[in-house]
Amino acid sequence: MNALATPKSSLQNRLEGFALTAIFQGVLTFAAATLLLKLAHHQIAGGAVFLVVAASIFHGLFTPWLAPKFPGLFKNSYEPLFFDAGLSFTDKLAQWRSQPTVSLQLVTSVMMLSVLAVAVAS
């Protein structure tokens, strides 16, 4: 069957890109920062969860706007694939995960978060 996909609105595409950027790039970074602050015995105003959520939202909002202007600064925290209107949400995620550098980043993040969590808990 030859079915044409309905075109995705720009608002829906931006929302998908925002969500993917905030969740898969922002949360890991800011969770690690929060654990480092906890390890250094610093009080976090508003709580750790608020810090991670708020920082991830701002990261998801501002990174797509700033990254094309400053590609050198945002080379590891911006994925243009997340904003490709021709791909579905699951296709964006699948293509992103298939990149070799992504698996290295995710494994590194998980290892770092695990070590920090053990350090904070002890």
Phi, psi at residue 109, to the nearest 5°? -65, -40
pLDDT in single tens digits along all 122 residues of the chain: 444 556 678 999 999 999 999 999 899 889 999 999 888 888 888 888 999 999 999 999 999 999 999 999 988 888 999 999 999 999 999 999 999 888 888 888 899 999 999 988 88
pLDDT at position 55, please? 94
pLDDT at position 1, please? 45
Domain boundaries, the chain: 10-121
Return all residues near 77 (Cβ < 8 A) that are at least 6 apart.
Answer: 25, 29, 59, 63, 67
